[in-house]
């Protein structure tokens, strides 16, 4: 990933701490709310929930459902164009067209906490002036943290994951290592594309649950 930024952005900590102090109250988009009504109808609380945030074409959502047959897997993306290319899947998968900044707040409000949460290859916004567009610096980030579960973020830009780890440590979540890995069995189309182009891929995985009893489903899914 090319970027003039050489390390964690110097404004990141200030943004994270400011957003941690103030609850973000921006209005929720009507389209996201309508999509969420369907999520509420689909959700079976007796099964663990896995979130695939920014699922794109839903390929990873389908794959995660195959890996975790006892879970329900919710893919969320704002792009109708990408979602239209999703593979056919069973009732354990739902793809919702919504903005993540709305969906995460609606999920938390409804206490729909994921056992696992995947944020795979989020748009990096790599110019230094775009730091506020990255999820760790976004006002909705405290909501993502509060949702809990085991979070996995992947990127081909190591600094993005260093920023996620730093933001999470400012939220009191133990510093987790950012690791590079070989994508022998790519989880997503972007992972496949980056691996084929010889990019180094990075993964950050950690439990967001301060108290595991808050979210008993967070424990049974140690594998990716
Ligand atoms: C780089 S693509 C990665 C897609 C997929 N996870 C993959 O790895 O192949 C980023 C995805 O995030 C979605 N996205 C970006 N910002 C979003 C937002 N605010 N709300 C919902 N989806 C968003 C885009 O539509 C796009 O599908």
- Indicate the domain borders of the chain: 27-218
pLDDT in tens, 3-16: 898 899 999 999 99
How far is ligand 1, taken at its centre, from the CA of residue 100, in Å?
A: 9
3-state secondary structure the chain: CCCCCCCCCCCHHHHHHHHHHCCCCCCCCHHHHHHHHHHHHHCCCCCCEEEEECCCCCHHHHHHHHHCCCCEEEEEECCHHHHCCCCCCCCCEEEEECCHHHHHHHHHHCCCCCCEEEEECCCCCCCHHHHHHCHHHCCCHHHHHHHCCEEEEEECCHHHHHHHHHHHHHCCCCCCCEEEECCCCCCCHHHHHHHHCCCCEEEEEEECCCCHHHCHHHCCCCCC
Distance 82 CA to ligand 1 centre (A): 9
According to DSSP, the β-strands at 49-53 and 72-77 are: parallel
- CATH code of 27-218, in short, is 3.40.50.150
Say if ligand 1 is within 6 A of residue 29 CB. Answer: no
* CA–centroid distance, residue 196 to ligand 1 (Å): 20
- 176 and 193 Cβ atoms separated by less than 8 Å: no
* One pLDDT digit (tens) per residue for the chain, 224 residues: 888 988 999 999 999 999 999 889 999 999 999 999 999 999 999 999 999 999 999 999 999 999 999 999 999 999 999 999 998 889 999 999 999 999 999 999 999 999 999 999 999 999 999 999 999 999 999 999 999 999 999 999 999 999 999 999 999 998 789 999 999 999 999 999 999 999 999 999 999 998 655 554 444 333 33
**pTM for this entry:** 0.94
CB distance 194 to ligand 1 below 6 Å: no
């Amino acid at each position: 990933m090319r970027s003039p930024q050489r390390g964690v952005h110097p404004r990141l900590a200030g943004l994270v701490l400011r957003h941690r102090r103030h609850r973000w109250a921006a209005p929720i988009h009507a389209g996201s709310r309508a999509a969420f009504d369907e999520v509420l109808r689909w959700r079976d609380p007796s099964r663990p929930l896995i979130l695939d945030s920014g699922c794109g074409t839903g390929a990873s959502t389908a794959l995660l459902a195959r890996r975790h047959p006892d879970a329900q897997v919710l893919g969320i993306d704002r792009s109708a164009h990408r979602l239209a290319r999703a593979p056919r899947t069973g009732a354990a998968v739902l793809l919702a067209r919504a903005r993540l900044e709305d969906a995460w707040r609606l999920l938390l409000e409804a206490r729909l906490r994921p056992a696992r949460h995947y944020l795979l290859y989020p748009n990096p916004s790599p110019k230094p002036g775009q730091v506020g567009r990255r999820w760790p610096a976004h006002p909705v980030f405290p909501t993502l943290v509060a949702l809990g579960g085991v979070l996995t973020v992947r990127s081909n830009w190591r600094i993005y994951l260093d920023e996620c780890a730093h933001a999470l440590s400012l939220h009191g979540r133990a510093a987790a290592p950012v690791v590079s890995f070989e994508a022998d069995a790519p989880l997503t189309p972007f992972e496949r594309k980056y691996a084929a182009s010889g990019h180094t891929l990075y993964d950050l995985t950690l439990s967001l649950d301060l108290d595991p009893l808050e979210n008993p489903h967070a424990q049974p899914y140690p594998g990716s």
